[in-house]
Protein backbone atom coordinates (compact mmCIF):
# COMPACT_ATOMS: atom_id res chain seq x y z
CA UNK A 1 0.00 0.00 0.00
CA UNK A 2 1.47 3.34 -1.00
CA UNK A 3 1.87 6.10 1.56
CA UNK A 4 1.92 8.71 -1.18
CA UNK A 5 -0.68 11.43 -0.65
CA UNK A 6 -2.39 12.57 -3.80
CA UNK A 7 -2.01 16.25 -4.53
CA UNK A 8 -5.29 18.18 -4.77
CA UNK A 9 -6.34 18.88 -8.33
CA UNK A 10 -5.10 22.18 -9.70
CA UNK A 11 -7.75 24.83 -10.26
CA UNK A 12 -7.51 26.47 -13.62
CA UNK A 13 -6.89 30.20 -12.98
CA UNK A 14 -9.10 31.04 -15.93
CA UNK A 15 -11.97 29.03 -14.44
CA UNK A 16 -11.49 30.72 -11.11
CA UNK A 17 -11.49 34.16 -12.74
CA UNK A 18 -14.64 33.32 -14.69
CA UNK A 19 -16.37 32.13 -11.53
CA UNK A 20 -15.44 35.36 -9.75
CA UNK A 21 -16.82 37.40 -12.66
CA UNK A 22 -20.08 35.46 -12.54
CA UNK A 23 -20.33 35.97 -8.78
CA UNK A 24 -19.68 39.70 -9.12
CA UNK A 25 -22.29 40.05 -11.85
CA UNK A 26 -24.89 38.16 -9.81
CA UNK A 27 -24.15 40.36 -6.80
CA UNK A 28 -24.40 43.45 -9.01
CA UNK A 29 -27.84 42.44 -10.22
CA UNK A 30 -29.06 41.65 -6.70
CA UNK A 31 -27.68 44.94 -5.37
CA UNK A 32 -29.55 46.73 -8.15
CA UNK A 33 -32.79 44.99 -7.20
CA UNK A 34 -32.15 46.01 -3.59
CA UNK A 35 -31.70 49.64 -4.64
CA UNK A 36 -34.85 49.64 -6.78
CA UNK A 37 -36.98 48.14 -4.03
CA UNK A 38 -36.50 51.06 -1.66
CA UNK A 39 -39.25 53.32 -0.31
CA UNK A 40 -39.81 56.34 -2.51
CA UNK A 41 -38.66 54.60 -5.68
CA UNK A 42 -41.12 54.40 -8.56
CA UNK A 43 -41.26 50.64 -8.22
CA UNK A 44 -44.94 49.84 -7.91
CA UNK A 45 -44.67 47.92 -11.20
CA UNK A 46 -40.98 47.12 -11.40
CA UNK A 47 -39.99 45.13 -14.49
CA UNK A 48 -36.79 43.51 -15.73
CA UNK A 49 -36.05 46.50 -17.99
CA UNK A 50 -35.77 48.68 -14.87
CA UNK A 51 -33.14 46.35 -13.45
CA UNK A 52 -31.02 45.98 -16.59
CA UNK A 53 -31.12 49.74 -17.18
CA UNK A 54 -30.04 50.56 -13.62
CA UNK A 55 -27.37 47.84 -13.61
CA UNK A 56 -26.22 48.82 -17.12
CA UNK A 57 -26.26 45.24 -18.40
CA UNK A 58 -27.93 43.49 -21.32
CA UNK A 59 -31.16 41.53 -21.06
CA UNK A 60 -29.18 38.41 -21.96
CA UNK A 61 -26.86 39.01 -19.01
CA UNK A 62 -29.83 39.16 -16.65
CA UNK A 63 -31.28 35.91 -17.99
CA UNK A 64 -27.99 34.10 -17.50
CA UNK A 65 -28.62 34.39 -13.78
CA UNK A 66 -32.38 34.67 -13.25
CA UNK A 67 -35.41 33.39 -15.16
CA UNK A 68 -37.59 36.28 -14.01
CA UNK A 69 -37.69 39.33 -11.78
CA UNK A 70 -39.49 37.22 -9.17
CA UNK A 71 -36.58 34.77 -9.19
CA UNK A 72 -34.15 37.64 -8.56
CA UNK A 73 -36.32 38.93 -5.70
CA UNK A 74 -36.43 35.43 -4.19
CA UNK A 75 -32.65 35.11 -4.51
CA UNK A 76 -32.20 38.45 -2.78
CA UNK A 77 -34.65 37.39 -0.08
CA UNK A 78 -32.70 34.18 0.40
CA UNK A 79 -29.42 36.07 0.70
CA UNK A 80 -30.80 38.58 3.21
CA UNK A 81 -32.55 35.91 5.27
CA UNK A 82 -29.41 33.77 5.40
CA UNK A 83 -27.49 36.79 6.66
CA UNK A 84 -30.15 37.49 9.27
CA UNK A 85 -30.06 33.89 10.51
CA UNK A 86 -26.28 34.00 10.80
CA UNK A 87 -26.41 37.27 12.76
CA UNK A 88 -29.15 35.95 15.01
CA UNK A 89 -27.17 32.83 15.84
CA UNK A 90 -24.09 34.90 16.50
CA UNK A 91 -25.97 37.11 18.96
CA UNK A 92 -28.32 34.61 20.58
CA UNK A 93 -27.25 31.06 21.34
CA UNK A 94 -29.57 28.06 21.17
CA UNK A 95 -28.95 27.56 24.89
CA UNK A 96 -30.31 31.00 25.75
CA UNK A 97 -33.70 31.21 27.47
CA UNK A 98 -36.44 31.11 24.83
CA UNK A 99 -37.89 34.48 25.85
CA UNK A 100 -34.46 36.02 25.39
CA UNK A 101 -34.18 34.48 21.91
CA UNK A 102 -37.63 35.71 20.91
CA UNK A 103 -37.15 39.26 22.20
CA UNK A 104 -33.61 39.36 20.83
CA UNK A 105 -34.70 38.40 17.32
CA UNK A 106 -37.37 41.11 17.25
CA UNK A 107 -34.95 43.70 18.63
CA UNK A 108 -32.26 42.75 16.12
CA UNK A 109 -34.55 43.23 13.11
CA UNK A 110 -35.65 46.67 14.29
CA UNK A 111 -32.13 47.76 15.15
CA UNK A 112 -30.80 46.63 11.78
CA UNK A 113 -33.40 48.74 9.95
CA UNK A 114 -32.17 51.74 11.95
CA UNK A 115 -28.55 50.94 11.06
CA UNK A 116 -29.15 49.73 7.50
CA UNK A 117 -32.13 51.45 5.81
CA UNK A 118 -31.55 49.64 2.48
CA UNK A 119 -32.08 46.30 4.23
CA UNK A 120 -35.05 47.70 6.10
CA UNK A 121 -36.60 49.09 2.94
CA UNK A 122 -36.50 45.79 1.12
CA UNK A 123 -37.56 43.62 4.04
CA UNK A 124 -40.67 45.76 4.60
CA UNK A 125 -41.91 45.15 1.06
CA UNK A 126 -44.66 42.64 0.45
CA UNK A 127 -42.39 40.71 -1.95
CA UNK A 128 -39.94 39.94 0.83
CA UNK A 129 -42.66 39.28 3.40
CA UNK A 130 -44.21 36.75 1.01
CA UNK A 131 -40.82 35.10 0.52
CA UNK A 132 -40.21 35.11 4.28
CA UNK A 133 -43.53 33.43 5.01
CA UNK A 134 -43.11 30.62 2.51
CA UNK A 135 -39.40 29.87 2.67
CA UNK A 136 -37.74 31.29 5.74
CA UNK A 137 -35.81 29.25 8.28
CA UNK A 138 -35.81 32.37 10.45
CA UNK A 139 -39.59 32.02 10.74
CA UNK A 140 -39.10 28.49 12.09
CA UNK A 141 -36.51 29.71 14.58
CA UNK A 142 -38.93 32.36 15.86
CA UNK A 143 -41.67 29.73 16.19
CA UNK A 144 -39.34 27.40 18.08
CA UNK A 145 -38.41 30.15 20.55
CA UNK A 146 -42.07 31.12 21.08
CA UNK A 147 -43.26 27.54 21.52
CA UNK A 148 -40.39 26.79 23.89
CA UNK A 149 -41.20 29.92 25.92
CA UNK A 150 -44.85 28.84 26.14
CA UNK A 151 -43.88 25.34 27.32
CA UNK A 152 -41.67 26.86 30.02
CA UNK A 153 -44.37 29.26 31.21
CA UNK A 154 -42.60 32.40 29.96
CA UNK A 155 -45.50 33.27 27.62
CA UNK A 156 -49.12 32.28 27.22
CA UNK A 157 -50.91 32.13 23.86
CA UNK A 158 -53.00 29.60 21.96
CA UNK A 159 -51.94 29.97 18.32
CA UNK A 160 -48.30 29.99 17.23
CA UNK A 161 -49.40 31.50 13.93
CA UNK A 162 -50.97 34.41 15.79
CA UNK A 163 -47.83 34.95 17.87
CA UNK A 164 -45.55 34.91 14.81
CA UNK A 165 -47.87 37.19 12.83
CA UNK A 166 -48.06 39.63 15.73
CA UNK A 167 -44.27 39.90 15.98
CA UNK A 168 -43.62 40.01 12.22
CA UNK A 169 -46.44 42.44 11.45
CA UNK A 170 -45.66 44.88 14.24
CA UNK A 171 -41.90 44.85 13.65
CA UNK A 172 -42.43 45.56 9.94
CA UNK A 173 -44.27 48.76 10.83
CA UNK A 174 -41.62 49.52 13.45
CA UNK A 175 -38.85 49.18 10.87
CA UNK A 176 -40.66 51.58 8.55
CA UNK A 177 -40.95 54.19 11.27
CA UNK A 178 -37.35 53.77 12.41
CA UNK A 179 -36.16 54.27 8.82
CA UNK A 180 -38.09 57.54 8.57
CA UNK A 181 -36.45 58.88 11.73
CA UNK A 182 -37.81 61.71 13.83
CA UNK A 183 -38.23 59.54 16.94
CA UNK A 184 -36.10 58.50 19.91
CA UNK A 185 -35.16 55.03 18.62
CA UNK A 186 -34.26 53.31 21.88
CA UNK A 187 -37.38 54.46 23.72
CA UNK A 188 -39.50 53.53 20.73
CA UNK A 189 -37.99 50.05 20.39
CA UNK A 190 -38.18 49.39 24.14
CA UNK A 191 -41.86 50.25 24.30
CA UNK A 192 -42.59 48.30 21.13
CA UNK A 193 -40.90 45.17 22.51
CA UNK A 194 -42.59 45.51 25.89
CA UNK A 195 -46.02 45.90 24.28
CA UNK A 196 -45.54 42.95 21.91
CA UNK A 197 -44.42 40.48 24.54
CA UNK A 198 -46.82 41.69 27.22
CA UNK A 199 -49.55 40.92 24.69
CA UNK A 200 -48.17 37.35 24.69
CA UNK A 201 -48.35 37.34 28.52
CA UNK A 202 -44.64 37.47 29.23
CA UNK A 203 -44.24 38.47 32.92
CA UNK A 204 -43.36 42.17 33.20
CA UNK A 205 -40.45 41.71 35.62
CA UNK A 206 -38.91 38.90 33.56
CA UNK A 207 -39.40 40.88 30.37
CA UNK A 208 -37.63 43.95 31.75
CA UNK A 209 -34.62 41.84 32.73
CA UNK A 210 -34.60 40.15 29.32
CA UNK A 211 -34.62 43.54 27.56
CA UNK A 212 -31.59 44.64 29.58
CA UNK A 213 -29.76 41.46 28.57
CA UNK A 214 -30.71 41.92 24.89
CA UNK A 215 -29.29 45.44 24.75
CA UNK A 216 -26.12 44.40 26.57
CA UNK A 217 -25.69 41.55 24.07
CA UNK A 218 -26.25 43.90 21.11
CA UNK A 219 -23.77 46.44 22.49
CA UNK A 220 -21.17 43.72 23.04
CA UNK A 221 -21.48 41.70 19.84
CA UNK A 222 -23.23 44.05 17.41
CA UNK A 223 -20.07 45.88 16.26
CA UNK A 224 -18.83 42.61 14.75
CA UNK A 225 -21.77 42.40 12.34
CA UNK A 226 -21.35 43.48 8.73
CA UNK A 227 -24.28 45.93 8.80
CA UNK A 228 -23.34 47.61 12.07
CA UNK A 229 -22.66 51.34 11.82
CA UNK A 230 -20.10 52.60 14.34
CA UNK A 231 -21.71 56.03 14.18
CA UNK A 232 -25.13 54.61 15.06
CA UNK A 233 -24.08 52.10 17.71
CA UNK A 234 -26.71 51.12 20.27
CA UNK A 235 -29.25 53.92 20.74
CA UNK A 236 -29.33 55.43 24.22
CA UNK A 237 -32.60 55.19 26.14
178-197 tens-digit pLDDT: 988 889 999 999 999 999 99
Does residue 75 register a pLDDT over 60? yes
Domain coordinates in residue numbering, the chain = 14-66, 69-224
Confidence band for 6, pLDDT divided at 50, 70 and 90: low
User: In the CATH scheme, what is the code of domain 69-224?
Assistant: 1.10.357
Q: For domain 14-66, give the CATH number.
A: 1.10.10
**φ/ψ (deg, to 5) at 190:** -60, -45
Our CA angle for 132, 158, 133, nearest 5°, is 5
**Least confident span in 12-16, 62-66, 206-210, 211-215:** 12-16
Q: How far is CA 233 from CA 112, 209, 213, 223, in A?
A: 10, 21, 16, 8
Instruction: Residue 210: name the closest of 172, 155, 131, 139 by CA.
Output: 155
For the segment 117-167, what is each residue's pLDDT rounded down to a tens digit? 889 888 887 666 666 666 667 777 888 999 999 999 999 999 999 999 899
The Cα 48–Cα 29 span in angstroms is: 11
Amino acid sequence: MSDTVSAPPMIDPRSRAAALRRERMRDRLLDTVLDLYQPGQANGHLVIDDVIRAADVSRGSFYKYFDSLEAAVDALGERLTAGMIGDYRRLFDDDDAPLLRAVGGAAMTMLRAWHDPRWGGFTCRVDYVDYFERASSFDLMVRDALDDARRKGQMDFVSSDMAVDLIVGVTIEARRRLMRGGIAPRSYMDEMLLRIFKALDAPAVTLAAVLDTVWLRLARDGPGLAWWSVEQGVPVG
